[in-house]
Amino acid sequence: MVKTRVRVILLALSLLGGACAVATAADGQTTPSENQVKAAFLAKFAAYVNWPPAAIGAPGDPIQLCILGRDPFGAELDQTVVRQRVDLHPLLVRRLAGTAGTAGCHLAFLGGSPTQSVAAMEEALRGKPILTVTDGSLGTERGMVHFMLKDGRVRFHIDDARAGQSNLAISARLLSLALTVKSRTQPS
């Protein structure tokens, strides 16, 4: 059962084109922690999102992955993004107390803080070309991407309609990995 879960997690990560850091378990198997898996997904999401040209900057400008409020990843995220690039853009991690100072952010993990809830962060970023990511372990408020555990595995939901409102295009490849997708177009 554990081996199967590890294989599924690693298959999903390989589909995203990356691997996550691993910790060695007592049985000799390598098993990534929940935060390592989430950090790996966060680092890879940028490769599957298209931003408006004005938002992405010139070749060589970094793609900024911003952690707003509570940071459950710490050094794991920093280690995950080391030397990673999306096209000609290096990844850069920034940590902010809240939504003030988010100019330049391309992805924002909304951790909430004592002074700004996840819902308030989401509302402050609504309509901006920033892919918002939330975590079910921190509450029910959902960003464009929302992590959750299902059957002991890290999975995610995608709100493609909200991404479209922010002029972001999420790749069909990433959409296919989501548990659910809120579509841009509603059936008539």
**Rounded average pLDDT per 10-residue block, the chain, 188 residues:** 41 42 46 93 97 92 97 95 94 97 97 96 97 93 96 97 97 97 77
- Domain ranges for the chain, please list them: 33-182
pTM: 0.84
Return the CATH number of the domain spanning residue range 33-182. Answer: 3.40.50
Amino acid at position 63, single letter: I
